[in-house]
Structure 1
């Protein structure tokens, strides 16, 4: 809305005639008529007087006008020029923030899609490891392998004796890992340790399709949302 149209609207809403408003604003009625018909160039002091007649500030009256009109017709007035520049700066910062949010949505979407399709957080495969028992404190790993799980030349009596000696520490444990830890590894359990061997090659996890597909889908949605946001910002803010 233009300044003249706004003054006329406020005057009609207040049920004032031009002479009545001119008297209230302490300006000439002929000058007021020119302003309402967009034929005069007011100073900020005049705008302030007219605004005060409606219990408004001059800036409040200016802010109710179309931005494009203010920039084209009123920025020659110093007070309005400063206000317009500040408002323009704030608008630019706001637009930059929206653009940044759009970019972040796109980047976040790409990351989620990559995570989902590659199974980074929820692996496509699981690895099964097995440990027959504990490694005694101070016992070398090679001795553990030989005495507990090694294949050695021994008769039945020697076999029975070895089993009896190791029965106390026989305690089979299985681990399922979502990442490959090698064909074997040793892991501490308090003061003792366990020796794990890969007992089953990687196999497809039934958890994968649902969880990772959802993550990938969220990534696609985030990517599209970011592009739409940036498109709408460009569409409605370009001059």
Structure 2
């Protein structure tokens, strides 16, 4: 949009005829007609007079005009230089916001994917523990290995018969030697103990089994999507800036 077109649009928006606006601005109607038809270029003082008569500021008047016209026809007007500086400053701030937003999306997306990979919110591993059975207070933790040896020694010493040894071992196995395997989503160390009704169990870590967590898989997808939004933000900012330059 040229200067004359912008002037005419604002004048008609306010419902003023050429004679009315010329009188309001204190200029000749013929001169106003030349301005609106781009047959004359306003001086810096006349530009300020026209803007004041329209009841708008310089930025409002200039924002709908073509940038090429501003850079050539009105380059001698001080308000134009201020407007151009303001446009550049706003563009820098807008670009910076997009860049910071994109960088934030990259960091957040990477953090989400890293959290999924490390199993921070949902476990990626199962810890498998085994217990040979229940041992009573005062008994050694190796009672399951030593009890049979003790019975064998008693047999050799003729303290108990073979039948008695077999019976005792069978009763011990039935009441105490009850293997149990459990899995936990978090580590409980290499060994941990758990109280039972008649004693306690000793659990030893036997292996760590990897698992595919649905929660972590979802986090991976979300993180990748957020990360991609960072690139989308850069592209959108570039397109908007290019479109804005084309429109002006």
Q: How high is the TM-score relative to the length of structure 1?
A: 0.67
Q: Which residue of 2 aligns with 1:109?
A: 109
Change (3 A) 1:133 1:52: farther
1:217 paired residue among 218, 221, 234: 221
Structure-2 residue corresponding to 1:35: 35
1:123 aligns with 2:119: no
Quick check: 2:58–2:83 contact (8 Å CA) kept in 1?
Answer: no
SS in 2 for 1:129: strand
What do residues 184-221 of structure 1 show as CA deviations (whole Å, max 9, x unaligned)?
2458x9xxxx964115x33454xx34212211111222
String of CA shifts for 1:36-77, please: whole Å, max 9, x gaps: 22331331x423322333332344323443455434543432
1:227 to 223, 231, 238: 231
Which is higher, the Rg of structure 1 or of structure 2? 2
Length-normalised TM-score, structure 2: 0.65
- Count of paired positions: 217
Structure 2 gap ranges (5+): 152-164, 196-200
SS of 2:141's partner is: helix
Provide the rounded CA distance (Å) in 2 between the counterparts of 1:64 and 1:237.
16
Q: 1:5 to 1:154 in 2, by over 3 A?
A: same
Three-state SS of the structure 1 residue aligned to 2:105 is helix
1:28, distance to aligned residue in structure 2 (A): 3.0
Q: Describe the superposition over 1:134-187 as per-residue Cα deviations: whole angstroms up to 9, x where unpaired.
A: 999xx9xxx85356x66364237xx99xx9xxx9xxxx99874435565x2458
Distance 2:55 2:48 in 1: 10
SS in 2 for 1:197: strand
1:36-115 alignment runs, 5 A limit: 36-38=36-38, 39-43=40-44, 45-67=45-67, 69-115=69-115
Asked whether the 8 Å contact 2:109–2:224 carries over to 1, the reply is yes
Change in CA separation of 1:178 and 1:70 when aligned onto 2, cut-off 3 Å: farther
Q: Mind listing any 5+ residue stretches in structure 1 that lack a counterpart?
A: none
